[in-house]
Amino acid sequence: MTTTALREEELQLTSSDGTALFARRVLPAGESRAHLAWVHGVAEHSGRYLETMRWFAERGFGSTAVDLRGHGRSEGKRVFVRRWAEYTSDVLAFLEGVEAPAGPSFLIGHSMGGLVVGRALQTQPQRLSGLKGAVITSPYFGLKVVVPGWKVCAGRFLSKVVPVASLPSDLDANLLSKDPEQVRAYEEDPLVTHSVTARWYTESVDQYALALADAGRLTLPLLFMHGEDDGVTDPAATRAVYERCASEDKELEMWPGGRHELLNEVEREQVRERILTWLEARLEG
């Protein structure tokens, strides 16, 4: 069943250190069955989730998506953090600073957003205990793409001496999706960044090791999803975190042939339906 006349809004938030954050919201015409809070991947932004947010709104789920600092239309040096905890602060400001639609809330993170969500749940469980659950797609719990040795050394050196130094990501957009239109949209998106900073790199590598070490701290209902043909983040790392997490309500869905962005894949309708089924089961429970 779908609804019409969706309501779309743009929001301005402030993180704990004063960084201005931008967010988008899509609401159903009537009352929301639940609130979905979306956290994007590295070097992208909330606007790339609008199609998916509208799909869920047509089925009664209100959505809000934030641009993390240094991404999209939020403030900050592009793809830079001094400490990973700054992203956690952004997520907390996002969840606590907006008036959520009616119903329970779920947190959804993709790629780097999956790592951000995972670490937030591990380090701030008290402030996130009101969530009904979380969905984590293609999380950055480990890299599948091979980073050249010179770039690893440069990243670690520059992180200490010039942490804001930019390094080209050299990401092949064809690793994201088998759908050429989605690949083209990514390549032509002016809000997509094609580099990362040295400090972001070292912080992210340290954090995905901690995500595995602290997997036992994950206790909320969780749905992990990963494409088996993901050439960006490592499906094996997702499975390792899944197996170690302490949640009594956890599911892992591996998608044969799926590349990195499952929500932008040719199978995206099935991916959305899978998430919807999982959400509805938690609402009924």
Which residues are within 8 A (CB) of 220 and not within 5 positions of it... i.e. 6 or more apart?
Answer: 121, 128, 131, 132, 133, 134, 247
pTM of the model as a whole: 0.96
Contact, 68 vs 39, CB < 8 A? Answer: yes
Per-residue pLDDT, 99: 77
Check pLDDT > 90 for residue 265.
Answer: yes
Task: Give the total number of structural domains in the chain.
Answer: 1
230 is catalytic: yes
The β-bridge partners of 39 are 66, 109
Catalytic residue, chosen from 67, 90, 214, 230, is 230
Residue 21 lies in a domain: yes
Residue 256 lies in a domain: yes
Contact, 57 vs 6, CB < 8 A? Answer: yes
Residue 38 lies in a domain: yes
- First vs last Cα of the chain: how many Å apart? 21
- Return d(Cα 35, Cα 53) in angstroms, integer: 11
The residue whose two tokens read 């509805």 is: 280
Residue 129 lies in a domain: yes
We report the CATH number of the domain holding residue 124 as 3.40.50.1820
Contact, 112 vs 86, CB < 8 A? Answer: no
Residue 151 lies in a domain: no
Per-residue pLDDT, 150: 87
Which two three-digit tokens encode residue 248?
Answer: 């009594």
Check pLDDT > 80 for residue 2.
Answer: no
Residue 157 lies in a domain: no
Count, residues in the chain: 285
Instruction: For residue 211, give its domain range.
Output: 7-145+207-284
Rounded to 5 degrees, φ, ψ at 104 are -70, 165
Contact, 234 vs 141, CB < 8 A? Answer: yes
* pLDDT over 70 percentage in the chain: 98
Check pLDDT > 80 for residue 175.
Answer: yes
Catalytic residue, chosen from 63, 111, 159, 204, is 111
35 is catalytic: no
179-231, pLDDT tens digit by residue? 999 999 999 999 999 999 999 999 999 999 999 999 999 999 999 999 999 99
23-44, pLDDT tens digit by residue? 999 999 999 999 999 999 999 9
90-123, pLDDT tens digit by residue? 999 999 988 777 689 999 999 999 999 999 999 9
Residue 172 lies in a domain: no
Residue 169 DSSP SS3? coil
Check pLDDT > 70 for residue 130.
Answer: yes
Q: What is the DSSP letter of 260?
A: S
E-strand ranges in 117-273 read 133-137, 166-168, 195-197, 222-227, 250-255
Average the pLDDT over 125-134 and give the result. Answer: 95
Residue 239 lies in a domain: yes
Average the pLDDT over 123-145 and give the result. Answer: 96
Q: Compute the mean pLDDT over every residue in the chain, rounded to the nearest whole number.
A: 95
Number of C-beta neighbours around residue 145 at 10 A = 15
Contact, 199 vs 80, CB < 8 A? Answer: yes
110 is catalytic: no
